[in-house]
Amino acid sequence: MKNTDQEPNIQDINPFKTAWNRFHTEKLAMTGLAGIVILLALSLLAPFLANSRPFLVIMNGRVSLPFIRYIFAPDSTESLIEQVFNFSLLYLPITAIVLVFIRKRLKIKFIILGTLALLLLIPFFMTNYRLDKTDWRAKVKKQDCFALFAPVPYGPYEQTAKPYLKPCIDHLLGTDQIGRDILSRMLYGARVSLAVGLFATILSLIIGIIIGMCAGYFRGKFDLISMRIVEVILCFPTFLLLLILMSMLKEVKFNQSILLVILVLGLTSWIGLCRLVRGETLKQRILPYIASCEATGLPVSRIMLFHLLPNITGPILISFTFGVAGAILAESSLSFLGFGVQAPTASWGELLRQAFSNPFQYWHLTLWPGLALFFSVCAFNFTGEGLRKVFDPKA
């Protein structure tokens, strides 16, 4: 009788597929991942969802596209972050098309994607900023021409109605203290929260991984000195350190306040990750495969980058998702206190600050940003918990 039970081939086992099969069985983790995807989609599509400039205008037989210039040269004090999101909005569909039609030739993929990225960057550098105060809604109504507007035809900096207007048909979420549409500012505030959460956490990951891996691999005096420095920084109140650094950096009068928040959060949130990476590195350091790599004469940098780092990726990914949630909360707290993203840039914490004088009367300025923060933090925390169950053998 022929044995039908066949042992799986080790080469056929895909670790990413195995991890995904475990991850998608967790309902909370999939709910969190869906929330992250929605947050990313809203952040990227913000100019198409809320904008005062029409996509298309047909006036006196002439066709114009006022929206195009805004994509490449947004009229924002935080223009760099806006351009990063707008570039991603245009580049991600191009990447998807290339990956679909060119499947096997990896080198050609990188060459094509790199070339297209450079070509796409040209209009961002060539398009000059130009202040446009045209009231397109009034102009279109006056001249009775055809125009195609976004679903929310208001910009995040445009004063469109009375201050503190409650939710109505024209302004679904109401207006803020100077009459700006809250829904528009909420959509662009998602960009701020996501940019700070991702970029600040990536910066802290880079610092924490480098210091933690070096401390765990080399041990000895380097480990002793670096860990004492980490303990000194750990004893200092983190939020107080954030306030001090932000007040010092604000004196420089640098307009890109989002970059300052990213820099401060990234430089103060790497301590926990550094200690985690050091512990994981110490456990991997004594395993036979590291000794085999050293015996073959491989450079230390290659051992750490190509052999050690992939084996500690699981805890790093878990820490990354929780770190993004913490950075979003930290940015909102700083903006609420006036030390974060500066006006007129849209921020969820800044909207909460406007309702501080009377949160019950201005409930619409408390409710919507609060719900956005709650769901965003829950999404990243649920995803992180799902990753923990995937990578933790004791889960």
Q: Label residue 334 by pLDDT band (50, 70, 90).
A: confident
pLDDT digits (tens, 9 = 90+) for 114-144: 999 999 999 998 888 777 777 888 888 888 7
Q: Does residue 10 have a pLDDT over 50?
A: no
Residue 58 dihedral angles phi and psi, to the nearest 5°: -115, 105
pTM (predicted TM-score):
0.89
Looking at the chain, how many residues does it have?
Answer: 395
pLDDT digits (tens, 9 = 90+) for 305-319: 888 998 888 889 999
CATH of 182-391, one of 1.10.10.10, 1.10.760.10, 1.10.3720.10, 1.10.1370.30: 1.10.3720.10
Q: Label residue 9 by pLDDT band (50, 70, 90).
A: low
pLDDT digits (tens, 9 = 90+) for 74-120: 887 778 889 999 999 999 998 888 888 877 677 788 888 899 999 99
Domain boundaries, the chain: 48-148, 182-391
Let me know: does 350 contact 343? Beta carbons within 8 Å.
Answer: yes
Residue type present at position 303: I
Residue 179 dihedral angles phi and psi, to the nearest 5°: 90, 20
Q: What is the DSSP string of 184-251?
A: HHHHHHHHHHHHHHHHHHHHHHHHHHHHHHHHHHH-HHHHHHHHHHHHHHHHS-HHHHHHHHHHHHHT
Q: Does residue 5 have a pLDDT over 80?
A: no
- Classify 147 as helix, strand or coil: strand
Tell me the average pLDDT across 342-362.
88
Nearest Cα to 128, choosing from 74, 198, 67, 47?
A: 74
